[in-house]
A and B are shown apart, each in its own frame.
Chain A
Amino acid sequence: MSTMLEYSGVHAYYGAIHALRGVDLVVNEGEIVTLIGANGAGKSTLMMTLFGKPTASSGQIRFQGDDITRTQTHKISREGIALVPEGRRIFQRMTVMENLQMGATFADKANFDADLKRMFEMFPILEKRQQQRAGTLSGGEQQMLAIARALMGRPKLLLLDEPSLGLAPLYIKQVFKIIKELNTRDKMTILLVEQNAHHALKVAHRAYVLQHGEIVLTGTGEELLASAEVRAAYLEGSH
């Protein structure tokens, strides 16, 4: 199992806030790794730093062995990394189809039809709504679109930032089912940030706990699910 993504001693500032304080993190090929932590722990910054937004102030980020710490955002994406960002960030004033085309901008054109068909199988609602403006979709549908858009680029590494946030329980279930399926069927490597720690730890091979910009705990998903510390901080009261 080779290392796909590696953070070593990464520091980053989000505005004036010292959001990441020496993060070490590894994602191996074929793994689902989940990152849990409270609001403001630096989870989103950790993901965005990978894309240079913001750029790490010190430390190094390597993808498939290459140092990408200071690479331009658009070039990082073309290496085969896709992000489903916090708040979905779909293009509201474009149609569902156009959003999917945007995701496939740098993918092999020959795969487009097959990939589109696959997305419509995974998310039938998108096929029905393909000519509709994306802004008119419900929150859950927009999340499906954000995931599909990321997948249209056939990424090697998929990053998901709070994909279950604000979704109805039915959609949450579907999102985690899809994550699992992408990993087992497509062998996709996934880094998942979640507040919904219970679900996230259940699908994850390994997990990290981020607190005030530092990794405070790491282990397999099962270990963290069983850990008293994690239970007290992130699982109490959630389901």
Chain B
Amino acid sequence: MGQLIQQLINGLTLGSVYGLIALGYTMVYGIIGMINFAHGDIYMIAAIIAVTVLTLLGSLGIMAVPVALLITLVVAIIFTSVYGWSVERIAYRPLRNASRLAPLISAIGMSIFLQNMVQLTQGARVKPINALLPGGFELFTSNGFTVHLAYTQIMIIVVTAVLLAVFTWLITKTSFGRQQRACEQDRTMTALLGINVDRTISMTFVIGAALAAVAGVMVTVYYGVVDFSIGFLAGIKAFTAAVLGGIGSLPGAMLGGLIIGMIESFWSAYLSPEYKDVATFVLLILVLMFRPSGLLGRPEVEKV
């Protein structure tokens, strides 16, 4: 019983992170019909920036957790937004009217470039930070198993919930959100109504990057270590989450993220921690085979 509750908490934490990253995949797919393979690396860059900023703040003596966290988030969001915007400008926009394969390849190229850039400039070694938010609550003990809820887990879950609320409001209630959804449905018609479609697409990349930035910062605080290669695995898992939820569906991405997080936690606890990544990939294959439109996705209709 204790073990079960513990894994639910862990799964929810992990799932929140995957869900935030998955939103970026699904938004970009929704608007231009492409998978942004550089998205996981944007998340990695946010984590690296978090290490840098937190270390810098520490050396300046700014130790108050909420202040340090807020500054880190703001800096990471600003930098990764610029990265997200640039990725679109460099790897996607010039290929807007090319065959579907071309932007796919340029996105993978962008991903390799970003990883190598970070490896070259920051070094390949794992970067640790001092625990920013150590400790937590001991919820209860049953059969000698104590269920913990770490402060960092509370932070991740609360920040994700707040962010989701803001994001949902942005997409469903604001003029920008309407323009964004209109672009998803019919880009030509949206332009005919006076909307700058290119700018809307850029903003979509920026928002996706900002969400990934928050995930990257929180993971840094949660695990305390990052390196240049974390973007690949997190990216693939978040991509799986987006596909599982139904690529293009925003609630689907979050749901998919939570499910992947849960599967990974439970798999690690009850089956084998070494094979937890395999579980995700097996799931990806199964979803693609049996339900390619995902849990909440629309069946793909060929446009004529």
Which A residues lie at the B interface, using CB under 8 A? 51, 53, 72-75, 77-78, 82-83, 85, 89, 91-94, 98, 101-103, 105-106, 149, 153
Contact = CB atoms under 8 A, between A and B. Distances in A.
Counting contact residues on chain B (CB < 8 A from A), the size range is 10 to 19
B-side interface mostly: helix
Contacts of A83: 192
A89 B186 CA distance: 8
Given A98-B178, A105-B175, A105-B179, A74 B185 contact: no
B297 to A, nearest CB: 13
Given A89-B186, A101-B175, A106 B194 contact: yes
B189 A77 contact: no
Given A53-B188, A74-B191, A85-B189, A102 B196 contact: no
A19 B185 CA distance: 27
B127 interface: no
A78 B194 contact: yes
Given A101-B175, A101-B178, A91 B194 contact: no
Contacts, number: 58
Contacts of B192: 51, 73, 77, 83, 85
B209 interface: no
Interface in B167-214: 175, 178-179, 181-182, 185-186, 188-197
22 contacts: A53-B191, A73-B188, A73-B192, A74-B191, A74-B197, A77-B193, A82-B193, A85-B192, A91-B181, A91-B185, A91-B186, A92-B185, A94-B181, A94-B182, A94-B185, A101-B178, A102-B179, A105-B178, A105-B179, A105-B194, A105-B195, A106-B193
Given A74-B195, A74-B197, A105-B195, A91 B189 contact: yes
Contacts of B175: 101, 105
Task: Please list the 4 inter-chain residue pairs (A to B) with the smallest Cβ-Cβ separation, ordered nearest first.
Answer: A77-B194, A73-B191, A89-B189, A106-B194
Contact of B193 (A72, A75, A92, A105): A105
Nearest to B191: A73
